[in-house]
Structure 1
Amino acid sequence: MSTGSRSGVTSRRARPATPMGRARYVVMMALVVGGLTLLAGRIVDLHVFDRSFLQGQGDARTLRVDPIPAHRGMITDRHGEPLAISTPVMTLWANPQDLPQDDIQRLMLARALGQELEALNARIARYAEREFMYLRRRMTPKAAREVLDLRIPGVHVQEEYKRYYPAGEVSAQLIGVTNVDDQGQEGLELAYQSYLAGTLGQRRVLKDRRGRLVRELALLREAQPGGDLTLALDQRLQFMAYRELKAAVAEHDADGGVLVMMDARTGEVLAMANQPSYNPNDRAGLDPAGLRNRAIVDVYEPGSVVKPLAMAAMLETGELPLGTVVDTSPGWMVIDRFTIKDIRNYGELSLAGILEKSSNIGMSKLALRLDDPIIPATYRELGLGQAPGLGFPGEAAGSLPAPVRWSSSQWAALSYGYGLSVSALQLASAYTAIANQGRRLPPSLLKLDRVPAGDTVIRPAVADRVLEMMDQVVGPETGARRAEVPGYSVAGKTGTVRKTSAGGGYRERAYRSLFVGIVPVSNPRIVTVVMIDRPRGDDYYGGAVAAPVFSRVAGNALRLLDVPPDRREK
C-alpha cells in the first residue's frame, strides 16, 4: 500500500493536475521536440547536403595565406664590392591572450629575449585585448631558435630580412638606410626603393588553433627578389677620400666637409665623401645632421673656384685677345658703392695671372667690358642653377639669377663667384667641360655601360686654354702649391668664401675653404672638388686647408687607377 502511495505521489508530480498545467506542459514539450527536430535537420543538412559550409568554416580557422618575404636587391660598387646587402632574420611575435600566466615561463621568455621581466609583463598587459604583438624584431636565426625551443604557448615566428652596410659610415649618406620594415628611408635606398624592394610572394598554409604551422599546402605566388644596383663608386677611392676628409675636418676643427671625385671621361662619380657621418648599422644616438648628403643637397656661394669657368665664358665671346693685360692697381675698386678688393695690389696681370693671383679686380674689369650676358648663360649650360637630375632625394638646384636689370656690382660679382649658389657635385660636373675640350658630362651615380655624348658648351680651343691657365695656378711658387701631386701635372683653383648669416650679410671669421682640381693635365682622368666648412684657426684659405686634401686623395687615386705620371717642369 505504501508502495502504491509513493507511486501515486510520483505520478501526480510528473503530470500537472489542472487543465492549465497540462496545456502548458504540452506546449513546452512541443517546443523542445520541435527545436530538437530543427537542430537534427540542420545537422543532417550540413553533413549530407551542404558539407561545403562546414568545410569553409573549418578552413577559415585553419587555412591561412602567408606572405613570403622578397630579398631586397644588393647595392655594389663598380667592382662588385657589396655596399648594402640583406641578411635573413626572424621576428618573434605573440598572441597576448595565449601567453601563459605562469611566472616561471614568463621569466624564461624574458631572459631568452634579452628583456626585463617587468618590462615584458607591462607590454603584454598593454596588448592584453589584442591578438598580436611583437616580442622582438629582426633577431638572428640562432637567437630566435633558442626562444622557440622553449615551446612557450602563444609565441610565433615570422621570416624577414635585415639590411647590412659593410662600408659603414664611409658611404652612409650616399647609400642611405632602410627602416625596420626594410623600406628605403634615405639616399639611394629611398631613390630606388621600388627597384630594390622586389615583390612579396604568397603561400597557403595549414595552422593549428594557436597559429602554429602544421603544413604548407600550396605556393600561390613566388617572391620576386629586388634588382641589384651597381654604382659608379669605387670603394677603394671612397674609403681613401673619406679617411682624408675626416682627418682634415678634425685637424682644422671644422664643422664638416665634402669631397666629390668624378671620372673626367665619363662623368661617373668615383667617390663622394661627407663629414660628419654616421654608422648605418648602429643608429643609436644618431645625429640627424649626419644623414645629409652635403655633396648633393647643400649649396653655397662658390667664390674663386668658378673664376676659370667665368674666364672660359668671356674667352668664348672672342672679344678678349689671349695677350690681354689688366691693370688691377691699386688693389681695390668701387662699383655701385660696393668696394671690391684683392689681397694686395698685383698691378698689371695677364689672363693667366688673374687666375693665378685670384684677382677679383681683374675678373670684375673683364666682366664689365662685355655687354653680352655670357657668364650667367655659360654657367647655366654648365649645369649650375639647375638640379643634376639624378633622382636623389633632396638634390639641390642652387641659384643663378636671371640677367634682368642687373647692376654693375652684381655683374662683376658673378665673375668672381658671388651672387650664385652651387653644390659640390654641380661644380665637379661643370669642370668636366674644361677637362673634355668643352664637353660637359652629366654626373652619374650609377656605373655606365658606355661614355655619354655630353653637351659641348665651350669651344675646344678655349677649354684647352683655360686648362693651361689652371695648370699655372698650381706650382711651387703659387698659393695652390699644396695641391701638387708628385709625378703628375695638376690644373686647379683655390677658393675661400665667407659664410652668410641667417639675418643676411656675412659672418665674421666664418669661411668655406675650397679647391677644384683636374689631373693629369696632359690627359685628364679625374675631376675633384674639396670643401671644408668653417675651419677654425689661422689657416682657413682654400690653398692651406682644401688643397692638401686634394693632393693626397688625387695622388693615391691616380696610382690605384694605374694612370702613368706626366710631370712637366714648370
Structure 2
Amino acid sequence: MHSQKRFGGWRLSLVWFALALAVLALLWKLLTLLLVDRDFLQGQGDARTIRVEPLVAHRGMITDRNGEPLAISTPVKSIWVNPREIAGDQSVVRRLARSLQLNEDSLVASVEANAEREFLYVRRRMPPAEANAVLAMSLPGVYSRQEYQRYYPQGEVTAHVLGFSNVDDIGQEGLELAFDDWLKGVPGRQQVIKDRRGRIIRELETIQTAQPGNTLALSIDFRIQNLAYKELKAEFVHRDARAASAVVLDVKTGEVLAMVNQPSFNPHNRSGLTDFGALRNRSVTDLFEPGSTLKPFTAIAALESGLYDRNTIISTHPGRMRVGRDVVQDRGQNFGDVTLQGMLVNSSNIASAKIALAVGHEALRDVLLRVGFGENPASGFPGERAGVMPNHRIWHDIELATLSFGYGMSTSALQLAQAYSVIANKGLRVPVTLLKDGNEMAGASEPQRVIDANVAGQVQSMLEAVVDPAQGGFDGASVPFYSIAGKTGTARVVGASGYEANLHNSMFAGYAPADDPRIVVIIVVNEPKGAQHYGSQVAAPVFSRIASGAMRLLEVTPNAIDPSRIMTLSAR
C-alpha cells in the first residue's frame, strides 16, 4: 500500500508538470504572437479584411462651340450580388429578379454558375431612384456600385459626329473614340474594410482621388447642326433616297459648323438597329464620284494653262463628241459656242472634256491635288477616307475627258467642302477641323496659297452666274437677301453591270455670301427616287434652306437686298 501511494503521488506530480508545461507553452506562444510576430500577423489580417476599391471617374463633357452640351455623363447605380451569400437561397434571387423585371430562372442559373465568386453584376446603369428602391428591400447579398452613363441631349441630330461609348464608358465610335484619352477620367482608389462576406463595413482612406475627364469643345454650332439635320432629313424622306449627307464649313477658319447624315440612329437605343450602315458618318467615310461639281476646278486648270481666258470660245456642236471609241455628250442638248462661264452655267461635258484634252492630265491632276482631292482631310475623325485620285501609267483620252467632269475619281463630302472653300477663300487652303479654334490650338501655319487669287476670283464670278437666272443660271439654290455661288452635280451610280441609267447621286456645292464668303455648304443625296434626280432639283433647294437659316443664325449682314423692295417696305 505504501508503494501504491508513492506511485499515485508520482503520477499526480507528472500531470501537474505536464499542465505547467502546457501553460508555459501557451504563454510563450502568446508572447511570441504579441511581440515577435505582431507586425506580420497584423499585415496578414489586414490583407484579408482591407480592400482597395476603385473610385469611378466621370467622362468629360462634349460641347458645341457655344457651350451647348452635346454629351454628358450622369451618375447611375449598378446592382450587383455576392453569389457566395445567395447561391443557396433561390427565394432571394427570384425576388431580386422580379424587382428588376428579369427572367427569374436565368438569374438563378447565373448565380448558381458563379457560386464561388464574390461579385456578379445583375443590372448595369440604373437610375438612382430605381436602384434605391431595389436596395430598400434589404435583400442579403445584394449591393450597388456608383457608375456614370453617357447621355446625348441632342440624340440622333449629333449621333454621327459624336459616336457613342460602351457600357464601361469607353469611346467606340466618332469623336468619343477619337478623343477617348482626352475625355476619359482617371479612376481613384479607396481603402475599405470588408467582412468575411465581402460587405464594406468601414471606409478607411482615399488613396487616390478620381480625376474627371477633360471637356471637349467642338467647332459644331448646334443651331446650324439642327437646321441642317432637319432640312436634310425632310429631303431624304421626300425623295425616298438611299442616303444623304450635308456639311457646313467655315470658309475662313476651316471649322466644321455642321455635319449630318441620313439615315441616322438613336445613340441611347441601338438594340433594334438593323441597318448598321446608319452608324457611319457618311460625310467622311463614304466616297462618291463628284460629277459636275468638279468642273470649276477644270476651269481653274484652263485659266492656269494660259490657253484659255474667260472669253475664250469653246464649240460644243453638235452636242456629241467622239473620244476614241467612246462618246461624250451634253444630255442630248447642243449648247453651241460657249465660254468658260458658259461651260459652268450649262454644265457642258463636251466643253469640259475639250479643256482637259488641251491642258493635259498633269495640269488637271495638279489642280485637284492642290485643293485636297485624293488626300486625307486630317480632321481626326476615325475612318475618314482620302478618296481616289487616278494616276494611270498611260492616260487614255477618255479617262482624262471623264475626269474633267467628275468621273473616274472619288471624294467625300468633307473633301468637297474643303476644295470649294479654296475657291471661296480666293485660293487659300485652310486645314479642316472639328474642334473649336482647332487650327489655332494645333499651331497650324498660315493658310496655304494653292490657287492664284486672280484665277480664283474669276471662277468665283463664274459660279455666281451658275445660280443667277439673269446670267442664264437657275434660281433653285437662291438665298433671300444674299448673293451665292455654287455648282450642281448629277452623277450616275455604278451597279452590277456598270453605270445604271436610273440611279444617280444628286449634289450641290456652294457658298454664301458670294462677295465675302462665310460658309461652304455641300449637299449629297444618294439615289433619290422619282422623276427628279438632277442636283438642281434635289440638292440645290436643300442648300437654299440651310444657307438661308445659317446666314440668319450667324447674323451675317444681307448683301443682296432689292432696292425696290426696301422702298415698298418703307412706304408701308
TM-score, scaled relative to structure 1: 0.91
- 1:57 pairs, out of 22, 35, 44, with 44
Q: CA deviation at 1:49?
A: 1.3
- Alpha-carbon distance in 1 for matches of 2:170, 2:158: 19
- Structure 1 CA distance for aligned equivalents of residues 450 and 21 of structure 2: 97
Q: 1:51 to 1:348 in 2, by over 3 A?
A: same
Query: Does 1:360 pair with 2:349?
Result: yes
User: How many aligned residue pairs are there?
Assistant: 546
The answer to whether the aligner puts 1:567 opposite 2:560 as a matched pair is yes
- Higher mean Cα deviation, 88-97 or 106-115? 106-115
Which ranges in structure 2 are unaligned for 5 or more consecutive residues?
A: 563-572
Partner residue, 1:324: 312
Does the CA-based 8 Å contact 1:491-1:519 persist in structure 2? yes
Q: For the structure 1 residues 390 and 42, does the alpha-carbon distance in structure 2 shift closer, same or farther, using more than 3 Å as the test?
A: farther
**Distance across 2 between alignment mates of 1:68 and 1:255:** 46
Secondary structure class of the residue paired with 1:406: coil
- In the aligned structure 1, how far is the partner of 2:76 from the partner of 2:145? 9
Change (3 A) 1:354 1:33: farther
Give the direction of change, closer, same or farther, for the CA distance of 1:433–1:35 in structure 2 (3 Å limit). Answer: farther
SS in 2 for 1:404: coil
CA contact (8 A) 1:156 1:211 kept: no
1:460-514 CA-to-partner distances (Å, cap 9, x unmatched) read 111111011010101237564211111111101000111112x562224111000
Q: Of 517, 533, 541, which aligns to 1:524?
A: 517
Kindly provide the amino acid, as one letter, of the partner of residue 467 in structure 1: Q
Contact 2:162/2:174, CA 8 A, preserved across alignment = yes
In structure 1, the residue corresponding to 2:146 is in which secondary structure?
strand
**Alpha-carbon contact 2:246-2:260 (below 8 Å) kept:** yes
Secondary structure of 2:201 counterpart: strand
Q: 2:288 aligns with which of 297, 300, 304?
A: 300
SS of equivalent residue, structure 2 residue 416:
helix
CA distance in 2, matches of 1:47, 1:63: 21
The residue correspondences of 1:200-211 to structure 2 (distance < 5 A) are 200-211=187-198
Quote the residue 1:557 is aligned against.
550
- For residue 174 of structure 1, report the CA deviation from its aligned partner: 0.7
The amino acid across from 2:503 in the alignment is A
Moved more, 113-122 or 482-491: 113-122
* 2: CA distance, partners of 1:353 / 1:237: 33
1:397 aligns with 2:386: yes
After superposition, residues 308-457 of structure 1 pair within 5 angstroms as 308-343=296-331, 344-371=333-360, 373-402=362-391, 404-448=393-437, 453-457=446-450
CA contact (8 A) 2:87 2:112 kept: no
Deviation at 1:100, TM superposition (A): 6.4
SS for the counterpart of 2:469 is coil
Q: What residue identity is the alignment partner of 2:262?
A: Q
Mapped partners of 1:110, 1:45: distance in 2? 51
Note if 1:481 corresponds to 2:475: yes
Contact kept in structure 2, 1:480 and 1:547, CA below 8 Å = no
Structure 1 residue 464 and structure 2 residue 426: aligned? no
Are 1:135 and 2:122 an aligned pair?
A: yes
Pick the aligned partner of 1:243 from 225, 230, 248.
230
User: Corresponding residue for 1:18?
Assistant: none
Q: How does 1:167-316 map to 2 (within 5 A)?
A: 167-286=154-273, 287-316=275-304
User: Aligned partners of 2:380, 2:167: CA distance in 1, in Å?
Assistant: 24
- TM-score, reference length from structure 2: 0.90
- After superposition, the Cα gap between the structure-2 partners of 1:48 and 1:251, relative to the gap in structure 1 and judged at 3 Å, is same
Cα deviation, 1:378-436, whole Å, max 9, x if unaligned, reads: 11111110111122111101010225321111111111111110000000001111111
Q: Which amino acid aligns with 1:348?
A: D
Contact 1:388 1:397 in 2 (8 A): yes
SS of residue in 2 equivalent to 1:388: coil
Paired residue for 1:149, among 130, 133, 136? Answer: 136
Residue 161 (structure 1) aligned with residue 148 (structure 2): yes
* One of 88, 94, 97 as aligned partner of 2:84: 97
Q: Kindly state the Cα deviation for residue 36 of structure 1 after the two structures are TM-superposed.
A: 10
2:116 pairs with 1:116: no
Q: How do residues 36-75 of structure 1 correspond to structure 2 at under 5 angstroms?
A: 42-75=29-62
What are the superposed Cα offsets for residues 192-248 of structure 1, whole Å, 9 maximum, x if unpaired?
Answer: 000100211111112222222222212211112111110010000001100111110
Asked whether the 8 Å contact 2:413–2:522 carries over to 1, the reply is yes
Does the 8 Å contact 1:94/1:154 carry over to 2?
A: yes
SS of 2:462's partner is: helix
Amino acid at match of 1:515: F
Higher mean C-alpha displacement, 366-375 vs 429-438: 366-375
Task: Write out per-residue CA displacement over residues 303-333 of structure 1, whole angstroms, 9 at most, x where no aligned residue.
Answer: 1001112211221222212210100011111
Deviates more, 1:55-64 or 1:75-84: 55-64
Identity over aligned pairs, percent: 47
Tell me if structure 1 keeps the 8 A contact 2:465–2:473: no
Superposition deviation, residue 365 in structure 1: 0.6
1:499 corresponds to 2:487: no
Instruction: State the Cα distance separating 1:362 from its structure 2 match.
Output: 0.2
Residues 528 and 31 (structure 1), Cα distance of their counterparts in 2 relative to 1, 3 Å cut: farther
What is the CA-CA distance between 1:105 and the residue it aligns to? 3.1
Structure 1's unaligned 5+ residue stretches are 1-7, 16-25
- Give me the whole-angstrom Cα distance separating, in 2, the residues matched to 1:35 and 1:313: 107
Report if the CA contact (8 A) 1:169-1:278 is conserved. yes
Query: Which moves more between the two structures, 122-131 or 215-224?
Result: 122-131
Q: Partners in 2 of 1:493 and 1:272 — Cα distance?
A: 20
Provide the rounded CA distance (Å) in 1 between the counterparts of 2:479 and 2:283. Answer: 24
* 1:81 and 2:68 aligned: yes
The amino acid of 2:390's aligned partner reads P
Change beyond 3 A, Cα 1:131–1:217: closer
The residue aligned with 2:502 is 509
Deviation track 1:149-186 (CA, whole Å, cap 9, x = no partner) reads: 22222222222110000010001011010000000000
SS of the residue corresponding to residue 540 of structure 2 reads: helix
Report the alpha carbon displacement of residue 33 of structure 1 after superposing the two structures with TM: 12
Is the CA contact 1:203–1:219 (under 8 Å) kept in the aligned structure 2? yes
SS across alignment from 2:83: coil
2:302 and 2:309 in contact (8 A); partners too? no
| SS of 1:391 mapped into structure 2 | coil
1:101-149 deviation per Cα after TM superposition (whole angstroms, max 9, x unaligned)? 4454334322322223223212212322333211111112222222222
1-side partners of 2:438 and 2:178: how far apart? 21
Amino acid of the structure 2 residue aligned with 1:461: N
Whichever residue aligns with residue 447 of structure 2, its letter is G
- SS, match of residue 373 in structure 1: helix
Structure 2 match to 1:536: 529
- Amino acid paired to 2:182: Y
Contact 2:75 2:148 in 1 (8 A): yes
State the secondary structure of the residue aligned to 1:87: strand
Letter in structure 1 aligned against 2:543:
F
- CA, structure 1 residues 39+176, in 2 after alignment: closer, same or farther (shift >3 Å)? farther
Which range moves more in the overlay, 217-226 or 77-86?
A: 217-226
